[in-house]
Chains A and B, each alone.
Chain A
């Protein structure tokens, strides 16, 4: 990927150049230099031993041949390690075998140590550290980041992209060095044995390298396309089964099957193209390396005939040539991995470098007690240029007061709420808590004093108790139960098979909307916050059980400054002040009684709910403008 290209999820703000990323990756590798070096030196030793060991078999042949064939040349012992002339052939062979075994044993142990060390480098040094770092950073990033990026792409950064990044260490640095070293070593060894033969039998290697690289360049996008097609097909399966009730009621199963068949066929057809190429590529490469062998046999055979080369050396050459071919082919892999690790690393670094917009100030105000007086002073907020969400909002709340907010989709209700725990900061104006600008307060203290109940309860895979104690994992059982009682959910929890220790499955699918929401309320009040925010808490609750949630809300809001977004009259009535929002502005404010007097959005909504339908058309068209 070129640096200017945007990543597929549209993330890159200003992409770092390849060189910068590379430098940073090298620094990362440098941080683990001790183990990196250990791994590399072990591998070099192994390579040396490997080449050396390979020569023994050849020497064995030469020893026997020398004994059997008159005039056959003497074996060439490496490093001048020739046995004393007094040793007869039989004992030489015995010694040689012993040596081979000893070497093999030693090499085996060394390989074991090497693999363990390489594994530790990757699985214990690099990956956990990077993953934990990215995760820690993710948790602190501002909501704007999460708004801007699809959750799938964020998750991939911690999983797939970290894997890609780590492959720089084992797939590029280590593998690359090994490749270079072994190519060098093999070539040197062969060269020492016979330069001409080496040159002749390696003559095709560059062609091999080029073909391999070409192919991998061609194959990469093809495989990417294949993954895309398979994803399409899987999506069809997922949706077809998730939406099966819709397909069934409309009698569209056959049509859906046709759609699936289409995608399934697309996968197959694209695969066929890949298969054609792969099935030609593999054997061609194999044929080329075998041509090397043919050259070796021909030219080498001539050399043996001319007694310029021993038979054993020729056999060793055959082995080395194979190893050489393997390494040439890994060159393409290393290049691939390098590219992938760079793009993975770039995405990981993006997260690590992302600005945390909302932070505690350097010298924060740390009030010992928060009363809960809140004041919005000419607050405006925009998600981006021309994306104004709130406009000049001003109002004031005394500690313990309850404000209800009414408004249509996109009127800015949730945004207004999210300014209070500083999920976002206002673009203009300020929000004051007990007379202090939120931005000068200690962020953790602020958030611990603001309890939030979201539209969707968002419970986690943990026990009920842990979910309630979410904001204070070391809360006592007594605290947890007290909160549950306030939220009117204690009795329900006790009726669960394991009470407070019942595990909630992912997304708590085993609970009803009302039950989940009451647990969420218990979670919010466990910390005894001075301020409670309820973002339409009955939105996804069955009307049958809505009153249970409302009871919980009633008892939870006592003595707390409360913000509640609501549509239903039953909730709105209870508020001290009602704010009616439209397009980010407050269009009406007052108590229920006051607002019912005025003709406006509020009274029309109210009448609709009490069963007076004359206003239906008016209300419906009134909202469009």
Chain B
């Protein structure tokens, strides 16, 4: 097991030093805690009103429990300090009977109190997740470009769970604990207020200790998580990049880098250990301190007849109750801060207004003819940085428009405007004469077929992926789409045909296969408009030929917009738009443009490698 001890290379280890620890990982800039804000509490309360009945029941049971718990303890103390100490066995039996009966009642209440609390928490979590998901789905594409997938996931998991803790535990546990402490306090004060005051003096100390350590612990935990995410991220790279690592004989050096990360991680783990190693004994010490004080003071008074033995015994039992409540509430306070941070992020997301959405007067489109016109369209993602400038052109039904131009010339943006993923900043995009701003988004999208550049597939089967564009399509429809593209044998070659799992992100298929499935997916709704961002990756010659054949069938008779990388596509186009810096600099058919000997001619020459 001691493989790493062999062949130590100190010089190499020196080079590795400090290099692994520089990266901040996603999410480490989000605050873990936020101060309690009553507006937020209020909002959470309102949010939970969908479950009013459950919430009301919970409050009732929590209140009952807050009184019950100290009463159980009180009965024990009463029996011990009373009948038992006095030697009255009959009363002892009565006491025991009362204890068992009351305890049974308490536990039955507890069953419902904890069940309802968990159901309540889960219900809220469930609602929040649904609301967030619905909200996210309704956002325009621009929303997603500014955010990482990981953020959405943490909103829906860790942040929602923080909210769960807030609604399920913080309030109710605090109420029970506080009730316990208060009832205990009242009883103790009733039995002997002087002794009680002494005990009260210990409360601030206990509270301070709890707060001090809790806040340090949470910091340390955070660092543990951060350092661990560095370990994991490095590990992921090491596994996915193993070919490079072995190809470049990096095993040993990487070992040094990794070791540094693990040591870093264990240092933070030790910090947590140190904090809690001091925290817990201090809590315990407090209890013992009170015991000592109780014996001295209580004993002194008892010896002088000011206090009965029964009182001291009650204090012994009750004080425990009282003291255990304080760190428990302290813990809940920490939870509350964490859930505030979680709730804030959740509501922030829910409150984010979409940049745009369908206007209330938006028209449901009838079946399109497929005429698309750009009228003096300009577009900018960020103010002052136009990506498209005064673009005008029109595509008649059934025409193919090919877009060519260097990276960053605005081709992708242009087709996104055609697909209504964005609205123009100025000017208008008209579909069959209707301004895209006035269109009902879904009715439009159902008539547009898109093949994205990344050939994104969802995990699931080939069939499910094709059907994704028209969920109500029958199996026969799906199969017909594939057949009409001439791809039947390709699907039937797959291990399970249409039921082959494509793997996460389509990972178990080849690039060519993925593209072909995307074609079928785009064809299935029989769209009037096709938007195609040809994949830049090259595939082998045979697949390439099939792709081109399928492509011809896909585009036939539909208005299509193609960011083309294939000469065949470009040559077949009715109009080629040559773009540079957000403007159309040349337009025309292939032959015309070649004749012009302008920008297109240059691109073409470069492409065919002449």
**B404 CB, nearest partner CB in chain A, Å:** 9
Residues of chain B in range 282-304 having any CB-CB distance to chain A below 8 Å: 282, 284-285, 288-289, 291-293, 295-296, 298-300, 302-303
Contacts of A53 in B (CB 8 A): 288
In the bound assembly, the distance between CA atoms of A275 and B122 in angstroms comes to 10
A278 and B114 within 8 A (CB): yes
Whether A60 lies near B3 (C-beta < 8 A) is no
User: Is A596 engaged at the interface, CB distance under 8 Å to the other chain?
Assistant: no
Q: How far is the CA of A162 from the CA of B280 in the complex (A)?
A: 27
Report chain A residues within 8 Å CB of B126.
Answer: 264-265, 267-268
**CA distance in complex: A136, B257 (Å):** 11
Residue B374, interface by CB 8 Å: no
A94 CA / B295 CA spacing, docked (Å): 8
Measured CB to CB, the nearest residue on chain B to A461 is B23
B549 at the binding interface (Cβ < 8 Å): yes
* A104 with B468, Cβ < 8 A, contacts A93-B299, A119-B270, A237-B153 known: no
Q: How far is the CB of A200 from chain B (nearest CB, A)?
A: 13
Q: How far is the CA of A561 from the CA of B244 in the complex (A)?
A: 20
Interface positions of A from 563 to 592, Cβ below 8 Å from B: 567-570, 573
For B228, what are the chain A residues with a Cβ–Cβ distance below 8 Å?
159
Interchain CB contact (< 8 A) of B316 among A130, A315, A538, A567: A315
Complex: A441 Cα to B1 Cα, angstroms: 26
B258 within 8 A of A: yes
Taking the closest CB of chain B, its distance from the CB of A229, in whole angstroms, is: 12
Selecting from A203-211, A239-247, A382-390, A432-440, the interface stretch reads A239-247
Q: Is B240 an interface residue (CB 8 A)?
A: yes
Q: Does A140 contact B (CB under 8 A)?
A: yes
Are B281 and A112 closer than 8 Å at their CB atoms?
Answer: yes
Q: Shortest distance in angstroms between B192's beta carbon and chain A's nearest beta carbon?
A: 14
Is B342 in contact with chain A by the CB < 8 A criterion? Answer: no
Which of A2-10, A255-263, A338-346, A482-490 forms contacts with chain B?
A255-263
Expressed in whole angstroms, the minimum distance between the Cβ of A412 and any Cβ of chain B is: 12
Find chain A residues with CB under 8 A from B19 CB. 462, 466
Q: How many A-B residue pairs have CB under 8 A?
A: 473
A163-199: CB near B (< 8 Å → 1, else 0) gives: 0000000000000000000000000000000000000
Interfacial chain A residues near B607, Cβ < 8 Å? 543
**Bound-state Cα–Cα, A233 to B105, Å:** 39
Tell me the complex Cα distance, A136–B133, Å: 42
| Contacting residues, chain B, for A268 (C-beta < 8 A) | 122-123, 125-126
B residues within 8 A CB of A256? 137
| CA of A246 to CA of B460, assembled, Å | 15
CB distance from A3 to the nearest CB of B (A): 21
Q: Which listed residue, B240, B251, B293, B545, touches A458 by the CB 8 Å rule?
A: B240
- Cβ of B107 and Cβ of A279 under 8 Å apart? no
A244 to B133 alpha-carbon distance, docked (Å) = 12
Q: Which residues from B are CB-within-8-Å of A473? A: 12, 15-16, 250, 253
Indicate whether B64 reaches chain A with its CB closer than 8 angstroms.
no
Known: A108-B284, A275-B122, A444-B249. A234 touches B541 (CB 8 A): no
B46 at the interface (CB under 8 A from A): no
> Chain B contacts of A460 at CB under 8 A?
237, 241, 244
Task: For the complex, give the distance between the alpha carbons of A454 and B288 in Å.
Answer: 67
Alpha-carbon separation in the docked complex, A512 to B505 (Å): 21
CB atoms of B84 and A304 under 8 A apart: yes
Inter-chain contact A133/B1, CB cutoff 8 Å: yes
Name the residue on A nearest B460 (C-beta). Answer: A239
B11 touches A244 (CB 8 A): no
Query: Which of B11, B228, B231, B303 gathers the greatest number of chain A CB atoms within 10 Å?
Result: B303
Q: How far is the CA of A266 from the CA of B235 in the complex (A)?
A: 33
Q: In the complex, are the beta carbons of A104 and B285 less than 8 A apart?
A: yes
Contacts A159-B235, A461-B23 known; A301 to B84 CB distance under 8 Å? yes
A64 lies within 8 A of B303 (CB): yes
Give the residue of A118, A253, A470 whose beta carbon is less than 8 angstroms from that of B250: A470
Could you say which of A32-40, A323-331, A365-373, A608-616 contacts chain B? A608-616
**Cβ of A132 under 8 Å from chain B:** yes
Give the most central of A151, A421, A461: most B CB within 10 Å. A461
A396 vs B133: C-alpha distance when bound (angstroms): 60
B156–A616 CB distance below 8 A: no
Whole-angstrom distance from the CB of B117 to the nearest CB of chain A? 9
Q: Does B277 contact A (CB under 8 A)?
A: yes
**Complex Cα spacing A527 to B284, Å:** 62
Q: Which residue of B lies closest to A139 (CB)?
A: B251
Query: Is A138 in contact with B239, judged by CB distance below 8 angstroms?
Result: yes
Contact of A503 with B110 at beta-carbon distance under 8 Å, contacts A132-B255, A143-B243 already known: no
Across the interface, name the chain A residue whose C-beta is closest to B304.
A90
Q: Is the CB of A539 within 8 A of B537?
A: yes
**Residue B546 at the chain A interface, CB threshold 8 Å:** yes
A155-B249 in contact (CB<8A): no
Flag whether A403 is at the interface (Cβ < 8 A): no
- Flag if A302 contacts B248 (CB, 8 Å): no
Interface string of B85-123 (1 = CB under 8 A from A): 101110011011001100110011011101100110011
Q: Which of A11-19, A75-83, A212-220, A288-296 contacts B (4 or more CB under 8 A)?
A: A288-296
Per a CB cutoff under 8 Å, which of A93, A280, A305 touches B84? A305
**A290 surroundings in chain B (CB, below 8 A):** 72, 99-100, 103, 107
Residue of A nearest to B263 (CB): A128
A90 CB contacts on chain B under 8 angstroms: 299-300, 303
- Residues 591-625 of A, flagged 1 when their CB comes within 8 A of B and 0 if not, give 00000000001001100111101011101101110
A337: chain B residues at CB < 8 Å are none
- The verdict on A492 contacting chain B, using a C-beta distance below 8 Å, is no
| Other-chain residue from B96, B280, B295 in contact with A297 (beta carbon distance below 8 A) | B96
CB of A297 within 8 A of CB of B92, answer: yes
Q: How far is the CB of A620 from chain B (nearest CB, A)?
A: 4
Q: Is B562 an interface residue (CB 8 A)?
A: no
- Tell whether, in the assembled complex, residue A57 and residue B316 are in contact, meaning their CB atoms are under 8 Å apart: yes
CA distance A407 to B540 in the complex (A): 7
List 8 interface pairs A-B (beta carbons < 8 Å), by A numbering.
A119-B269, A129-B1, A233-B156, A260-B130, A301-B80, A450-B247, A452-B243, A569-B609
For the complex of A and B, list the 7 residue pairs with the smallest distance between their C-beta atoms, beginning with the closest.
A623-B542, A251-B445, A119-B273, A115-B277, A570-B609, A104-B288, A279-B115
Known: A108-B282, A423-B247, A460-B244. 13 other contacts (CB 8 A): A131-B262, A135-B255, A140-B246, A159-B235, A242-B149, A250-B450, A271-B122, A293-B76, A294-B96, A611-B608, A616-B545, A623-B542, A623-B545
